[in-house]
Amino acid sequence: MSLVVNLLLVSYALLIFLFAGYEKITLVGFPSLPEDKASPLPQDTPLVSIILPVRNQASTLEGCLTSLTSLDYPSKEIIVVDGDSTDETPKILARFRDKIRIFNEEPLPKRWVGKNWACHLGYQKAKGELFLFTDGDSIHATDSVSRTVAYLQSSKVDLVTLAPQTILKTFWEKLLQPVVFYLIMVSVGGKWVNDDRRPNYSIGNGQYMLITRDAYEKIGGHKAVHDRIVEDLSMARNLKRAGLKLRFLVAQDAFGVRMYSSLREIWLGWRKNFYTVSENHRLLRAVQRFLFLFVFFILPFIILTQGILLAPTQPVNLFLLTGAFMSFWLWLGMLIFYKQGARLNPAYGLLLPLAVAIYMGIGIDSTVRGALGKGLSWKGRVYEQNNQKPDDKRVRA
């Protein structure tokens, strides 16, 4: 039995080492949005319709609109669709009414997710050759659209989606948000999403998606993903499956986002995504994700702990050696990610097991609620309740 355990430990350590190699191949050197315009914008610049769905975002909306109305891009229109906000959002919008077009969201149809409906209504009002879908908690650099349009044109692609500078202030934001982003990038294949020969690898960030009108209409726009809570990923999948070209770039100097400001917001925000991210066979895929998280990010540290506990009587034991080996590679990857990717104190990376354990807790909550039809609440709406598609039932999110 001891020999079998030893072989399993060594094989497991090799698996984690290979996983570290996969991390390096797919994540290190991730492409960035060029700092300077890839090519000069033509004198006749394409009209960009900036479509902004909002709902109860008074705490961040003014900063977002100030940045959008200050963009240096010469040919743009800003379309804001307000989803029946009950806070100060309408008053903030009124202060910008001379610079933006404001529309109130029409009644939410059955089977539609609120954000998708708002984006669809914005599309119907849009006049541009290009659409930029963004969120009300984003802050945009003055030259961000100019640079992104220049890159889209010079690269001759159909969709450019950006990873922002994530604004993190509290301990929980700094602990959890980078780890969740890291897990997402590992799961979708990292840099492989930009490979046109790999249609099964795709990602979209709904906080910033610049897409041509032709491509948007070819894939059916938000109407084709009307019931998807994680609509950005679904749209990206549709685009690549249609043979169109997608580019996902890091753009920390182009725009920033503070998604959540507390552990509660983080929990509720990612809870709505975990179970619903899979288009089909959600329960099976949720279980697969749990196994992946446990095997690659929790079990190595359990083995290390076991080795430490054995150390007083067995100073050199295989649990300690393989556990330390695996933990070193996992910690190293997170230290690099925190320092270079998240631009935070890399010491947060040492708390990787805690962050993953909390994320698994969020996933369990999401999976149980989704599978039992209890519903996933977000911004006053409940989705997936009683195994039905989204409705407009109001709750306190």
How far apart are the C-alpha atoms of 317 and 310, rounded to whole Å?
7
DSSP conformational letter for 295: I
Per-residue pLDDT band for 1 (boundaries 50, 70, 90) equals: low
For range 85-107, the mean pLDDT: 94
DSSP conformational letter for 256: E
Worst-scoring range by mean pLDDT, 43-57, 162-176, 330-344? 330-344
Is the pLDDT confidence value at 67 over 80? yes
How far apart are the C-alpha atoms of 87 and 92, rounded to whole Å?
10
- Pick from 33, 377, 347: nearest CA to 178: 347
Please report, rounded to a whole number, the percentage of residues in the chain having pLDDT higher than 90. 76
How far apart are the C-alpha atoms of 318 and 321, rounded to whole Å?
5
Worst-scoring range by mean pLDDT, 45-49, 134-138, 343-347? 343-347
**Between 280 and 261, the higher pLDDT residue:** 261
How far apart are the C-alpha atoms of 265 and 201, rounded to whole Å?
29
In the beta sheet, which residues pair with residue 247?
160
Is the pLDDT confidence value at 60 over 50? yes
In the beta sheet, which residues pair with residue 347?
none
Per-residue pLDDT band for 143 (boundaries 50, 70, 90) equals: very high
Is the pLDDT confidence value at 43 over 70? no
Query: Which residues, in sequence order, are CB contacts of 106 under 8 Å at separation 6+?
Result: 117, 121
pLDDT for res 386 = 63
pLDDT for res 377 = 76
Q: What's the mean pLDDT when you consider all of the chain?
A: 90
Domains of the chain with bracketed CATH: 1-29+170-187+262-371 (no CATH), 31-164+205-259 (3.90.550.10)
Per-residue pLDDT band for 93 (boundaries 50, 70, 90) equals: very high
Query: Structure pTM?
Result: 0.88
Give the model confidence (pLDDT) of 148-160 as tens digits: 999 999 999 999 9
For range 87-94, the mean pLDDT: 95
pLDDT for res 385 = 66
How far apart are the C-alpha atoms of 197 and 4, rounded to whole Å?
41
Residue 370 falls in which region: left (phi positive, over 0), alpha (psi -120 to 50) or beta: alpha
Query: Which residues, in sequence order, are CB contacts of 51 under 8 Å at separation 6+?
Result: 79, 81, 119, 122, 123, 126, 131, 132, 133, 134
pLDDT for res 29 = 85
* Beta strands in 127-245, from DSSP E residues, in sequence order: 130-134, 138-140, 159-163, 165-166, 208-212
Is residue 205 a contact partner of residue 163, using CB atoms and an 8 Å limit? yes
DSSP conformational letter for 315: S
For range 298-316, the mean pLDDT: 95
Is the pLDDT confidence value at 141 over 90? yes
How many Å is the Cα radius of gyration of the chain? 22
| Structure-block tokens of residue 209 | 């998606």
Please report, rounded to a whole number, the percentage of residues in the chain having pLDDT higher than 70. 92
| Structure-block tokens of residue 333 | 């990857």
Per-residue pLDDT band for 394 (boundaries 50, 70, 90) equals: very low
Q: Is the four-CA dihedral 179, 28, 202, 211 of positive or negative sign?
A: positive
